[in-house]
């Protein structure tokens, strides 16, 4: 008998579906609507799902499956809290009649308002002191004060990552899977929307990237994949990573 995960038990899901059957997952069926509804059921109130997705080009046009999925998530009860962009730093030239695609979406879906948000920061371009306008008036008379510039600001919602060996991950074993996303992407999302001790879930975990980064950042985790081969790959990758962490601590 199959046991269901308890309702409202997951704080954060970071996952990427087999979009448009772009990759060959050996013919496994992927029922998107059932997955979306299942995610809504297991997500806690205030919990978040980060859905990393792109579109295939079929007969010269982009499928927009991602958009349809976004709309279905809303129908299933999620709020589309943000539409973020995962930009790939190094992408091969793909189409002769269009610009090279270098991004995927990261839909940030929440069950009500997100309970947790730890915004990642980036350094500002300028720092030190500057005469800054304050008390801005409708009559056009602005007062200026010498003020200290902020040294950091909240990142934008476009995140850039190098891809390939050394970028996506340094774990050679992960590349036996055809569609690994960057470890840093998973870690940045985990740090943004969860706290240590929270439960992080990936229902299509592939090589186990989300689970690995959840483990390394002190979260609890559950990873599932329909392919026993990929589930085994994720298990081995996690074991190797845990052993490396133990060695570096001793």
Q: Is residue 179 a contact residue for ligand SAM (CB under 6 A)?
A: yes
Q: Is residue 207 a contact residue for ligand SAM (CB under 6 A)?
A: yes
Cα 159 → chain centroid: 10
User: Between the CA atoms of 167, 171, 175 and 181, what dihedral angle is there, to the nearest 10 degrees?
Assistant: -50
The CA–CA distances, whole Å, from 130 to 111, 133, 162 equal: 42, 10, 35
Question: What are residue 159's DSSP bridge partners?
Answer: 86
Q: Is residue 28 a contact residue for ligand SAM (CB under 6 A)?
A: yes
Token couple for 68: 């349809």
Q: Is residue 18 a contact residue for ligand SAM (CB under 6 A)?
A: yes
Please state the closest distance from residue 22 (CB atom) to ligand SAM, in A: 8
Among the listed residues 192, 177, 216, the one whose alpha carbon sits nearest the alpha carbon of residue 50 = 192
> By rule CB under 6 A, what string of x and - marks binding of each residue 101-140 to ligand SAM?
----------------------------------------
| Consecutive H or E run containing 14 | strand 10-15
φ, ψ for residue 21, nearest 5 deg:
50, 35
CB-nearer residue toward ligand SAM: 115 or 222:
222
CB-nearer residue toward ligand SAM: 70 or 206:
206
> By rule CB under 6 A, what string of x and - marks binding of each residue 215-234 to ligand SAM?
---------xxxx--x----
Dist CA 66 CA 72 (whole Å): 10
Among 177, 200, 211, 223, binds ligand SAM (CB under 6 A): 177
CB-nearer residue toward ligand SAM: 105 or 115:
105
Among 13, 65, 209, 241, binds ligand SAM (CB under 6 A): 209
Among 47, 54, 114, 206, binds ligand SAM (CB under 6 A): 206
Dist CA 132 CA 149 (whole Å): 9
CB 221 within 8 A of CB 199: yes
Which residue of the chain is nearest ligand SAM when measured via CB? 206
Among 11, 25, 51, 199, binds ligand SAM (CB under 6 A): 25
Q: Is residue 43 a contact residue for ligand SAM (CB under 6 A)?
A: no
Please state the closest distance from residue 183 (CB atom) to ligand SAM, in A: 8
Q: Which residues make Cβ contacts (< 8 Å) with residue 106, sequence separation at least 6?
A: 50, 51, 52, 83, 84, 85, 86, 159, 185, 189
CB-nearer residue toward ligand SAM: 26 or 123:
26
Question: What are residue 109's DSSP bridge partners?
Answer: 49, 80
CB-nearer residue toward ligand SAM: 52 or 115:
52
**Residues forming the site for ligand SAM (CB under 6 A):** 16, 18, 25, 28, 30, 177, 179-181, 203-204, 206-207, 209, 224-227, 230
């Amino acid at each position: 008998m199959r046991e269901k995960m308890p309702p409202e038990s997951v704080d954060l899901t970071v996952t990427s579906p087999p979009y448009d059957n772009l990759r060959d997952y050996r013919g496994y069926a992927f029922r998107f609507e059932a997955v979306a509804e299942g995610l809504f059921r297991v997500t806690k109130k205030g919990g978040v799902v980060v859905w990393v997705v792109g579109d295939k080009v079929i007969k010269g046009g982009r499928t927009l499956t991602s958009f349809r999925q976004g709309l279905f998530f809303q129908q299933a009860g999620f709020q589309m809290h943000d539409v973020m962009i995962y930009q790939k730093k190094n992408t091969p030239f793909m189409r002769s009649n269009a610009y090279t695609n270098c991004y995927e979406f990261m839909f940030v879906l929440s069950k009500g308002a997100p309970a947790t948000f730890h915004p990642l920061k980036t350094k500002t371009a300028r720092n030190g002191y500057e005469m800054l306008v304050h008390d801005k008036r409708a009559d056009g008379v602005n007062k200026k004060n010498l003020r200290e510039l902020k040294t950091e600001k909240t990142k934008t919602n476009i995140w850039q990552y190098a891809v390939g060996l050394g970028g996506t991950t340094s774990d050679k074993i992960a590349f036996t899977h055809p569609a690994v996303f960057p470890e840093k992407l998973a870690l940045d999302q985990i740090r943004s929307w969860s706290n240590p001790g929270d439960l992080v879930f990936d229902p299509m975990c592939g090589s186990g990237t989300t689970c690995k980064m959840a483990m390394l950042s002190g979260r609890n985790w559950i990873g599932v994949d329909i392919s026993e081969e990929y589930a085994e790959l994720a298990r081995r990758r996690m074991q190797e990573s845990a052993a490396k962490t133990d060695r570096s601590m001793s």
